[in-house]
Amino acid sequence: MNSLLIKQGKIVVHDSIIKGDIVINNGKISRIAPTIDAKVQPTLFLGGKFYVSPGLIDLHTHGALGYDFLDASLEGNRKIIDFCSSHGTTYLLATIGTAPTERMLKAAEAIIALKDDRIGGIYFEGPFLSPERKGAQPEQWLVTPSIDRYRELYAKTKGHMRILALAPELPGAKEIIHQALSDNVIPALAHSNASYEEAMEAIDQGIRHFTHLYNGMRVFHHRDPGAVAAALLRQEVTVELIADGIHIHPAVLKTVIKLKGIENICLITDSISAAGMKDGSYFFSGQKIIVERGIARLATGDSLAGSTLTLDKAIRNLLEWGISLPHAIKMASSTPARVLGIQHSKGSITPGKDADLVIFDQDLKVRAVLVRGRLVYNELEEASLALGGDQ
């Protein structure tokens, strides 16, 4: 569709919800107003029944539907992306967990080869992580930070590396942080046993993002607050939260919002291949995972192993926990867009930005998704799509 008029939507704009119309031209939002009479064809009539939000941005997802980006499968990658789209995600970072270097690079090649504009790049979760806080990352493939290893990963991913998660307290990490910043890669504190002091120093060195806050890091304690306290106190730091009610308690999430503000929080899924699947046995980075009641754990039982969460479910969870819809949407759109430096083109419903939009029903179930004005998912049975004219 070169042009589309969306009429009578409940539009999530900044901190409010307004009733109005949206005109899309050539993949961009061109106009928003309470009523637009322009004769644009076709026209999507929502009848005041549906919310229209910015497209959701997931910085951290490993897979879904039995597939993992680490599998290096073009077919699997397409299915992961389409699944994410069906749950409102219009832009994501394909996350590669820790594995042998050759396997990580092969996975990266398959992601790059897909050439899908819903993929914003690659998120490497490893291999420069702390064995003490490895979580579900396989210890046998963790390595001491090496600038040569980093340069190999960066060179062979051809500029597609967007975030590199590492433990900044490990020897050699500082040099990688400095080089990553020079390469326009975001270094993120992750799977780290850093003390409060070490985390504060890492922020001074250039760390501005923390991977799944609280998880995979030293436990917050009143006499040993660790990296968590550093993240909460430094306002230049953005953090990821997995809002499934399993990785963090709702009261903790609300505490982080109070201390950090929604503008510094990114909702992520950290979803693995079990997302969208039944309970059962799966694999993550070569390790057996058991999923029971939607909760993924290593078969050994000693760690959570990602999640089966989707971003639309995370938003519904936040509403149940007392967070407003505009604030929940912001944490899954404008904040991650700003983290990636793409806020000029994505993250809000603003004229001139990409027409990445999600249409939710009144129960906040995803009913349709547009990426750059292109309908990539559609379950709108109650809405009317007409070729211009009156409804």
Query: Between β-strands 43-45 and 51-54, what pairing exists: parallel, antiparallel or unpaired?
Result: unpaired
pLDDT of the residue at 390: 41
Q: Given phi > 0 = left and psi -120 to 50 = alpha, else beta, which region is 335?
A: alpha
**What architecture is the 3-54+349-386 domain classified under in CATH?**
Roll (2.30)
Single-letter residue type at 27: G
Query: Helix/strand/coil (H, E, C) string of 258-272?
Result: HHHCHHHEEEECCEC
Q: Delimit the CATH 3.20.20.140 region(s) of the chain.
A: 56-340
In order along its 391 residues, the chain shows pLDDT tens digits of 578 999 999 999 989 999 999 999 999 999 999 999 877 678 899 999 999 999 999 999 999 999 999 999 999 999 999 999 999 999 999 999 999 999 999 999 999 999 999 999 999 999 999 999 999 999 999 999 999 999 999 999 999 999 999 999 999 999 999 999 999 999 999 999 999 999 999 999 999 999 999 999 999 999 999 999 999 999 999 999 999 999 999 999 999 999 999 999 999 999 999 999 999 999 999 899 999 999 999 999 889 999 999 999 999 999 999 999 999 999 999 999 999 999 999 999 999 999 999 999 999 999 999 999 999 999 987 666 664 444 3
pLDDT of the residue at 302: 83
pLDDT of the residue at 142: 97
Reported CATH class of domain 56-340: alpha beta
- Cα 58-79-209 angle, rounded to 5 deg: 20
pLDDT of the residue at 1: 59
DSSP 8-state symbol, 391: -
Give the helix/strand (H/E) hosting 5. Answer: strand 3-13
Structure tokens, 259 = 């201390």
Hey, how many other C-beta atoms are within 10 angstroms of the C-beta on 200?
Answer: 18
pLDDT of the residue at 387: 47
Coil/strand/helix, residue 201: helix
DSSP 8-state symbol, 367: E
Structure tokens, 230 = 């550093």
pLDDT of the residue at 291: 96
Entry pTM: 0.96
Rounded-to-integer distance, Cα 253 and Cα 243, Å? 8
Rounded-to-integer distance, Cα 199 and Cα 133, Å? 14
Q: Delimit the CATH 2.30.40.10 region(s) of the chain.
A: 3-54+349-386
DSSP 8-state symbol, 352: T
pLDDT of the residue at 383: 61
204 included as an active-site residue: no
**Strand pairing partners for 53?**
358
Active-site residue (options: 244, 270, 356, 361): 270
Cβ atoms 268, 211 nearer than 8 A: no
As a residue count, the chain comes to: 391
